[in-house]
Amino acid sequence: PRCTPPALDAHTRAPEGRHSRHPPSTARHPPPEVTMASATCVPMAAATLRPSVQQARGSKASLRTRGARTRTQQSVSRGARKVAMAVGIEQEVAIDEAPLSLLREDGADDASSMRARFEKMIRNAQNEIVAAIEELDGSKFQEDAWTRPGGGGGISRVLQNGNVFEKAGVNVSVVYGQMPPDAYRAATGESGTGKEMIPFFAAGISSVMHPKNPMAPTVHFNYRYFETDAPAGAEAAPRSWWFGGGTDLTPSYIFEDDAAHFHGTLKGACDKHDAAFYPRFKTWADDYFIIKHRQNERR
């Protein structure tokens, strides 16, 4: 698959010319093998080491005081509800056990589709990461699952007050919704005057892990697949797809060995596909963490 995210974060605009006009078609081309290394080679490269001895103010995975994290979580929760309403996402419904698939059951997303293959990949990744952390920590994650009436849903796994981690979360989600046309144009850089809501599909995996030991860094990542469809009844309507995301390491105390391992792992994944990926997308990540009018990092 083409590994070209439009941006490192939802708040940044996508560069023009980085989107395919059509999602991957298994009818036109044999499906390539999807792995965490291939489907996320670019967003994994969008990584940077960010020391945050002082309290951070904008970093996606910075160490904050307990009160600051609580206020941030409340703010994000309210903001998420507003965004959900703005883009036409249905309210979630809690369920007792996660289904085998969070995709719609109308048959449109068959097992060979990129939607189904990406969901399978992130579900497997969630299982593998949770198993590794549970073995390291000796504590268990708690799982909450939900679905939405029109399709999609999510699985949240959280470990709290463990032996190694104060808190760790690994979440996956599948979303079907309606995107305002202005939001689509902002995300893709395309022009137009259409007013019709644009159907979209999104799936992703995200994680934040806070260790108890201040000598160990906090880590964050999110990787996602996004696809838009044509508005009902529209001709020659926009249809695009892309992978996106990023990862960052936030140490309170910097150890050069940690930084070398972090960036070396990401570079190794990128170099399997193109040696130019890592330096290019590392620069994107560095630019993301700069407040332009201050010419300083977001911390």
49 vs 8, which has greater pLDDT? 49
Give the pLDDT of residue 59. Answer: 33
**Stretch 132-159: mean pLDDT:** 96
Give the pLDDT of residue 204. Answer: 98
- Tell me where in the chain the CATH 3.40.1500.10 domain(s) lie: 93-103+111-253
Residue 247 has pLDDT above 50, yes or no: yes
Select, from the ranges 18-22, 43-47, 74-78, 104-108, the one with the highest average predicted confidence (pLDDT). 104-108
Q: Which residues are catalytic?
A: 220
Give the pLDDT of residue 4. Answer: 33
**pTM of the predicted structure, to 2 decimals:** 0.70
Give the pLDDT of residue 145. Answer: 97
Residue 277, classified by CB atoms within 10 Å of its CB into exposed (0-12), middle (13-18) or buried (19+), is: buried
58 vs 149, which has greater pLDDT? 149
Mean pLDDT value across the chain? 75
Give the pLDDT of residue 156. Answer: 98
Q: What is the pLDDT of residues 258-293, one digit of tens each?
A: 999 999 999 999 999 999 999 999 998 888 888 878
**Stretch 84-101: mean pLDDT:** 80
Q: What is the pLDDT of residues 24-40, one digit of tens each?
A: 544 433 434 444 433 33
Q: What is the pLDDT of residues 115-141, one digit of tens each?
A: 999 999 999 999 999 999 999 999 999
**Stretch 71-90: mean pLDDT:** 51
**Stretch 101-106: mean pLDDT:** 90
Q: What is the pLDDT of residues 187-210, one digit of tens each?
A: 777 777 777 888 899 999 999 999
CATH code, 93-103+111-253: 3.40.1500.10
Give the pLDDT of residue 240. Answer: 84
